[in-house]
Amino acid sequence: MKKNPRFYGLVALATLVIIQLVPYGRDHENPPVKNEPAWDTPQTRTLFFKACRDCHSRETAWPWYASIAPASWLTYYDVQEGREHFDVSRWGEGKQHGDEAAEMVRTGEMPPWFYLPAHPDARLTEADRLALIRGLIATFGDEKEAPVDKKASK
């Protein structure tokens, strides 16, 4: 017995409506900013907030689709993961991975490919990308370079 294509459309629509009742991913409150790193320059901060703010700070600009499941689930998850790993709005609390930031931008892992189509303002020119990498290294260090033990060098 062959089902009418309209039947599948109604099932898909009903499923979309029902999943809106799942409360996960609807908390769009940004916690208060507690502390920021000492940025090397205002330009580094500006570039960081242009490309990285939404997932790596408590100043997320939640897009309209962050209120519609299942996109809300993915968006919320990505923001929570980003803040857990590296959050400039709670700098100095717990382990942050600032020393990895420049490498993630350098290798193209950040911002992730799926973020850019919906956030064209986060796209950086090559000159801005290089300036951000230099600024991140100056602000947070670089995991590729071993920290210098000043006591041992004396």
Q: Give per-residue pLDDT as tens, 133-148.
A: 999 999 998 877 644 4
Distances (CA, A) of 110 to 14, 74, 84, 113: 36, 17, 15, 8
103-137, pLDDT tens digit by residue? 999 999 999 988 999 899 899 999 999 999 999 99
| Residue-level pLDDT at 18 | 86
Kindly report the backbone phi and psi dihedral angles of residue 29, in degrees, each rounded to the nearest multiple of 5, phi listed first.
-80, 130
List, in order, residues 6 or more apart from 39 with CB less than 8 Å away. Answer: 45, 48, 135, 139
| Residue-level pLDDT at 62 | 93
Alpha carbon distance 141, 136 (integer Å): 7
Q: How confident is the model at residue 1 (pLDDT cuts 50, 70, 90)?
A: low
Tell if the pTM clears 0.85, that is, is over it.
no
| Residue-level pLDDT at 106 | 93
| Mean pLDDT calculated for residue range 93-105 | 88
Residue 46's CB: how many other CB atoms inside 10 A? 15
| Residue-level pLDDT at 137 | 95
Q: How confident is the model at residue 82 (pLDDT cuts 50, 70, 90)?
A: very high
Helices 126-140 and 98-106 cross at an angle (nearest 10°) of 160
| Residue-level pLDDT at 145 | 64
| Residue-level pLDDT at 153 | 32
38-62, pLDDT tens digit by residue? 999 999 999 999 999 999 999 999 9
Alpha carbon distance 41, 131 (integer Å): 10
Residue 9's CB: how many other CB atoms inside 10 A? 10
Radius of gyration, alpha carbons of the chain: 20
Share of the chain above pLDDT 70, in %: 93
Residue pair 60/119 in contact (Cβ under 8 Å)? The answer is no
- Written as one string, the DSSP assignment of 21-40 is T--TT---PPPPP-B----S
Strand-pair partners of 90: 35
Work out the mean pLDDT of the chain and round it to a whole number: 87
